[in-house]
Amino acid sequence: MSAKRTLHEGWTVTGDPGAPVAVDAIPASVPGEVVADLLAAGLTGDPYVDEAERDLAWVGRHDWTYRTSFAYEAGDWDGIDLVFDGLDTVARISLNGTVIGETANMHRRYRFNVRERIRQGANELEVHFTAPYTYAEAQRDRLGDRPNAYPEPGNFIRKAACNFGWDWGPNLAGAGIWRPVRLECWKTARIAEVIPRVDVADGRGILDLAVRLDKAAETDLELVCTVEGRGQVARVPAGTDTAEIRFEVEDPELWWPRGYGSQRLYAVSVDLVSRPDVLDSWRWRIGFRTVELDTEPDGHGRPYQLKVNGAPIWVKGANWIPDDVLPSRVGADRYARRLSQAAAANINCIRVWGGGIYESDDFYALCDRLGLLVMQDFLFACAAYPEEEPFWSEVEEEARDNLVRLAPHPSLVTWTGNNENLWGWHDWDWQGDLGERTWGAGYYHDLLPKLVAEVDGTRPYWPGSPYSGTRELHPNEQAHASVHIWDVWNDLDYTRYRDWKPRFVAEFGYQAPPTWATVRRMVSDEPLEAASPAMLWHQKAASGQEKLQRGLDAHLPPVRDFDDWLYFTQVNQARAIRLGIEYFRSLQPYCSGAIMWQLNDCWPVTSWAAIDGEERLKPLWYALRDVFAERLVTFQPEGDGLNMVVVNDSAETWAGVIGFWKCNAEGRIIGRALVQMEIDPRDTAVLELEPGAIPKDGEFLMTGREDFPRATWFTKEDKDMDWPKARFTTEVAAIDGGVAVTVHAESVLRDLCLFADRLDSDAVVDKALITLVPGEQVTFTVQSEAIAASPELQRALTAKPVLRAVND
Q: Nearest to residue 493, comparing CAs of 551, 534, 448? A: 551
pLDDT of amino acid 675 = 86
Q: Is the distance from CB of 571 to CB of 559 less than 8 angstroms?
A: no
Pick the catalytic residue from 387, 420, 477, 582.
420
Task: Return the ∠ at Cα 528 (arms to 524 and 531), rounded to 5°.
Answer: 110
pLDDT of amino acid 173 = 97
Model confidence at 708: pLDDT above 90: no
> Average pLDDT for residues 489-501, to the nearest whole number?
98
> Average pLDDT for residues 82-97, to the nearest whole number?
98
Show me where the domains of the chain are located. Answer: 2-183, 188-286, 318-627, 631-714, 728-804
Strand partners, 180: none
Element (H, E) at 788: helix 785-788
pLDDT of amino acid 707 = 66
Domain 728-804 CATH assignment equals 1.25.40:
no
| Cis peptide preceding 252, ω within 30 of 0 | no
The pLDDT-based confidence of 399 (bands split at 50, 70, 90) is: very high
Q: Give domain 631-714's CATH superfamily.
A: Immunoglobulins (2.60.40.10)
Please state, for a pLDDT cut of 70, what percent of the chain lies above it. Answer: 100
Q: Is 744 helix (H, G, I), strand (E, B) or coil?
A: strand
For 369, 486, 540, 558, the CA distances from 549, given in Å and listed in that order, are 41, 17, 15, 10
User: In this predicted model, what pLDDT tens digit does every residue of 594-624 receive, in sequence order?
Assistant: 999 999 999 999 999 999 999 999 999 999 9
Q: Is the distance from CB of 247 to CB of 230 less than 8 angstroms?
A: yes
- Average pLDDT of the residues of the chain: 97
Exposure letters 32-52 (e unless 16+ CB within 10 A, then b): bbbbbbbbeeeebbebbbbeb
**List of long-range contacts for 766-772, beta carbons under 8 Å, 24+ apart:** 767/622, 768/574, 768/619, 768/622, 768/623, 769/571, 769/574, 769/619, 769/622, 769/623, 769/626, 771/702, 771/710, 771/712, 772/743, 772/745, 772/748
Q: What is the DSSP letter of 560?
A: -
Rounded Cα–Cα distance for residues 385 and 417 (Å): 12
Rounded Cα–Cα distance for residues 122 and 789 (Å): 56
pLDDT of amino acid 182 = 98
Q: Nearest to residue 216, comparing CAs of 279, 278, 283? A: 279
Domain 2-183 CATH assignment equals 2.60.120.260:
yes
Rounded Cα–Cα distance for residues 326 and 29 (Å): 12
The pLDDT-based confidence of 171 (bands split at 50, 70, 90) is: very high
Q: What would the 3-class secondary structure string for 313-348 be?
A: CCEEEEEECCCCCCHHHCCHHHHHHHHHHHHHCCCC
DSSP-assigned states of every residue in 443-484 = IIIIIHHHHIIIII-SS-EES-BSB-SSTTS-TT-TTBSEEE
Q: Nearest to residue 659, comparing CAs of 641, 683, 633? A: 633
DSSP-assigned states of every residue in 107-134 = TS-EEEE-TTT--SEEEEEEEEE--HHH
Q: Which residues contact 784 (CB under 8 A, 6 or more apart)?
A: 737, 738, 739, 756, 759, 760, 762, 763, 764
Q: Is the distance from CB of 764 to CB of 788 less than 8 angstroms?
A: no
Q: Is 684 helix (H, G, I), strand (E, B) or coil?
A: strand
Task: Return the ∠ at Cα 510 (arms to 508 and 511), rounded to 5°.
Answer: 140
> Average pLDDT for residues 575-583, to the nearest whole number?
98
Model confidence at 705: pLDDT above 70: no
**What CATH architecture applies to the domain 318-627?**
Alpha-Beta Barrel (3.20)
Rounded Cα–Cα distance for residues 147 and 135 (Å): 18
Q: Is 22 helix (H, G, I), strand (E, B) or coil?
A: coil
Rounded Cα–Cα distance for residues 577 and 582 (Å): 8
Rounded Cα–Cα distance for residues 434 and 450 (Å): 26
DSSP-assigned states of every residue in 410-441 = TTEEEEES-BSHHHHHHHSSHHHHHTT---SH
Q: Is the distance from CB of 213 to CB of 234 less than 8 angstroms?
A: no
Q: Is the distance from CB of 329 to CB of 40 less than 8 angstroms?
A: no
Q: Which residues contact 151 (CB under 8 A, 6 or more apart)?
A: none
What CATH class has 188-286? mainly beta
Q: What share of the chain is helix, strand, coil (3-state, %, to 5)?
A: 25, 35, 40
Q: Is 558 exposed, middle or buried (0-12, 13-18, 19+ CB in 10 A)?
A: exposed
> Average pLDDT for residues 519-544, to the nearest whole number?
97
User: In this predicted model, what pLDDT tens digit does every residue of 744-776 receive, in sequence order?
Assistant: 999 999 999 999 999 999 999 999 999 999 999
Q: Do domains 188-286 and 631-714 have the same CATH topology?
A: yes
Strand partners, 69: 124
Element (H, E) at 401: helix 391-406
Q: Count the Cβ atoms, other than its own, within 10 Å of residue 454.
A: 10
pLDDT of amino acid 112 = 98
pLDDT of amino acid 480 = 98
Strand partners, 768: none
Q: Is 585 helix (H, G, I), strand (E, B) or coil?
A: helix
pLDDT of amino acid 704 = 74
Q: Is the distance from CB of 236 to CB of 222 less than 8 angstroms?
A: yes
Q: Is the distance from CB of 33 to CB of 86 less than 8 angstroms?
A: no
Rounded Cα–Cα distance for residues 637 and 769 (Å): 22
Q: Are strands 349-352 and 315-320 parallel, antiparallel or unpaired?
A: parallel
User: In this predicted model, what pLDDT tens digit does every residue of 306-339 receive, in sequence order?
Assistant: 999 999 999 999 999 999 999 999 999 999 999 9
The pLDDT-based confidence of 658 (bands split at 50, 70, 90) is: confident
Mark whether 420 is an active-site residue.
yes
> Average pLDDT for residues 490-513, to the nearest whole number?
98
Model confidence at 534: pLDDT above 90: yes
The pLDDT-based confidence of 706 (bands split at 50, 70, 90) is: low
User: In this predicted model, what pLDDT tens digit does every residue of 542-574 receive, in sequence order?
Assistant: 999 999 999 999 999 999 999 999 999 999 999
CA 163 to chain CA mean position, Å: 16
Q: Are strands 593-596 and 315-320 parallel, antiparallel or unpaired?
A: parallel
Q: Is the distance from CB of 436 to CB of 406 less than 8 angstroms?
A: no
For the chain, the straight-line distance linking the first and the last C-alpha, in angstroms and rounded, comes to 71
